[in-house]
Chains A and B, each alone.
Chain A
Amino acid sequence: AQRVTQPEKLLSVFKGAPVELKCNYSYSGSPELFWYVQYSRQRLQLLLRHISRESIKGFTADLNKGETSFHLKKPFAQEEDSAMYYCALTQGGSEKLVFGKGTKLTVNP
């Protein structure tokens, strides 16, 4: 069965510090991995996807198939990065998403 694990419920860093939100997955095929974000009082929205290999708001994520991980990283955290972050996967071509439980990131001034 497909599963997404985000081991940290809460993560707190200071402004300017590096941040890494962990995501591990279990899936036997070739998944597509995503990070969704929900800022306070806003809707859940797509942050980035692994196939586009892009950097959004300074965040990057690399798919490591050997370690079945898709960690989200940013070298210098900003206060506006405070939000709930959800890792999700889907089978290639499927529109059904499987979500992790989420990590609440707090960036302190």
Chain B
Amino acid sequence: NAGVTQTPKFRILKIGQSMTLQCTQDMNHNYMYWYRQDPGMGLKLIYYSVGAGITDKGEVPNGYNVSRSTTEDFPLRLELAAPSQTSVYFCASSYSGLMGVYNEQFFGPGTRLTVL
């Protein structure tokens, strides 16, 4: 199993450009997440999804959009890139089957995005 894969690994964008960060998992996990990590900071949740067709906002959703058309894929869209979106983006997934039981999140390798 490849686990959680993310593409691209690195990207430089100009202000106002758009792009989609891809995330795929092959573990049949129902939950998927997008985090961003700014230098010297912890990870902050952008959006998450509890299953195909269902998404919800996290702590820092502004400037991003997501969709979840399949169990495997959870792309993150930046519509109008801004310098404040310069960060490392992590995708993660987990399986949640039992209410009240937290299950381990598996992380991708990250995408380093710079907006100039």
Contacts and interface: CB of A to CB of B under 8 A. Distances in A.
Interface of A: 4, 6, 9, 32, 43-46, 49, 51, 86, 90, 92-102
A86 B31 contact: no
Given A43-B108, A44-B90, A45-B107, A93 B40 contact: no
Contact of A46 (B3, B48, B105): B105
- Interface secondary structure of B, over-half rule: loop
B100 A93 contact: yes
Contact of A96 (B4, B48, B104, B109): B48
A76 B22 CA distance: 41
Interface of B: 3-4, 31, 33, 35, 40-45, 48, 50, 58-59, 90, 92, 94, 96, 99-110
Contacts of A90: 102
Contacts of A86: 42-43
A43 B107 contact: yes
Contacts of B96: 95
B102 A43 contact: no
B42 A43 contact: no
Given A44-B90, A46-B105, A49-B102, 14 more contacts: A43-B3, A43-B109, A45-B106, A92-B102, A93-B101, A93-B102, A95-B31, A95-B33, A95-B96, A96-B48, A99-B42, A100-B42, A101-B40, A101-B42
Nearest to A45: B107
Contacts of A6: 42
Contacts of A46: 104-105
Contacts of B103: 95
Contact of B102 (A32, A45, A101): A32
A69 to B, nearest CB: 17
B115 to A, nearest CB: 22
A102 B44 CA distance: 12
9 interchain residue pairs of minimum CB distance: A99-B42, A93-B100, A44-B107, A99-B43, A101-B42, A46-B104, A43-B107, A100-B42, A95-B31
Contact of B45 (A32, A92, A97): A97
